[in-house]
Amino acid sequence: MKKILLIDDEKPIAETIEAYAKKENMEVTHATNGEHGLAIFHQQPFDIILVDWMLPGISGIEIIKSIRQKSDTPILMISARNDETDIVLGLEMGADDYITKPFGPRELIARIHSLLRRHQKSSLSEPTATSDVKLGNLHISFQKKELTKKGKPVELTSAEFRLLEELYINQGNVVSRENLMTNALGYRDFLNDRTLDTHIKNIRKKIEDDPQKPKFIKTVRESGFKFVIS
């Protein structure tokens, strides 16, 4: 039985999630505020964490930052804030996915399954790109999940590293959006989700000298993305 930690102060949403999770043989532990949620997190292991943005006391963003200092447990942020800047911030802070309210419970369960599959796959298999890579002022270690730019460390989330690796090992070739969503992010449904675009924008901000004119990650209109080494 997979264990879910749900941190959300909206009782109707929590009850719906608990009901649908139970049908999927998942056990939900519910906390109604950030302090309680973090206390529970430190007491026992969970397979996945669902965190609302707006909470009494500690915000969802602060919770994610705190958890990421100690754990790579998959995190799904749930929020009524649907502006792109909010989604970008949530993912940059370490959330693996972001879903906006109102959402369908079946979509939420599908996303949970996708995150669990992805985390299990990354835990069981070795990274495909095992050697260190030097590209201009970038130095990337996919195995250690470390990246430096001009000698300074750059933090990428686990999802961003998986996307970067998938693009790199297929360098020079177009990788479709569907393949990136499935192979790197673990989604089998909801392939039009904005999460992929947000992750790509985040990666460009971190590795490109000019994210508006990317040198490494090129967009191929109506096809996908391509990693280019000049």
pLDDT tens, residue by residue, 99-148: 998 899 998 998 899 888 877 765 544 445 556 889 989 999 988 889 99
Q: Which range, of 12-16, 19-23, 83-87, averages the lowest pLDDT?
A: 83-87
Do 104 and 203 belong to one domain? no
Q: Please indicate, yes or no, whether residues 145 and 118 belong to a single structural domain of this protein.
A: no
Same domain, 117 and 8: yes
Q: Are residues 63 and 110 in the same domain?
A: yes
Sheet containing 146-149: give its strands across.
132-135, 138-141, 146-149, 152-154
Say whether both 117 and 216 belong to one domain. Answer: no
- In the 8-state DSSP scheme, what is residue 142? T
The pLDDT tens digits for 190-215 are 545 678 888 999 999 999 999 999 99
For residue 68, give the CATH number of its domain.
Answer: 3.40.50.2300
Do 7 and 118 have their domain in common? yes
| Beta strands per DSSP E along the chain | 2-7, 26-31, 48-52, 75-79, 97-100, 132-135, 138-141, 146-149, 152-154, 174-176, 217-220, 224-227
The verdict on 139 and 63 lying in the same domain is: no
Q: Which residue, of 124, 144, 163, is where some domain finishes? A: 124
User: 189 vs 135, which has greater pLDDT?
Assistant: 135
| Plot region of 112 (φ>0 → left; ψ -120 to 50 → alpha; else → beta) | alpha
- What is the number of structural domains in the chain? 2
70 & 30 share domain:
yes
State the pLDDT at residue 127: 43
Scan for tokens 């299990």, then name that residue: 120
Record the pTM. 0.67
pLDDT value at 174 more than 90: yes
CA angle 113, 115, 52 (to 5 degrees): 100
Tokens 């989330």 appear where? 157
Q: Are residues 87 and 200 in the same domain?
A: no
What DSSP letter does each residue of 15-69 carry, written as one string? HHHHHHHHHTTEEEEEESSHHHHHHHHHHS--SEEEEESS-SSS-HHHHHHHHHT
DSSP single-letter state for residue 116:
H
CATH assignment at residue 177: 1.10.10.10
Q: Are residues 169 and 94 in the same domain?
A: no
Cα atoms found within 13 Å of the Cα of residue 202, Cβ hemisphere only: 30
- Domain residue limits at 83: 2-124
Instruction: Give yes or no: residues 136 and 89 share one domain.
Output: no
Q: Which of 124, 142, 160 is the last residue of a domain?
A: 124
Looking at the structure, tell me whether residues 106 and 18 fall in a common domain: yes
Domain final position from 124, 146, 172: 124
Distance of alpha carbon 49 from alpha carbon 47, whole angstroms: 7
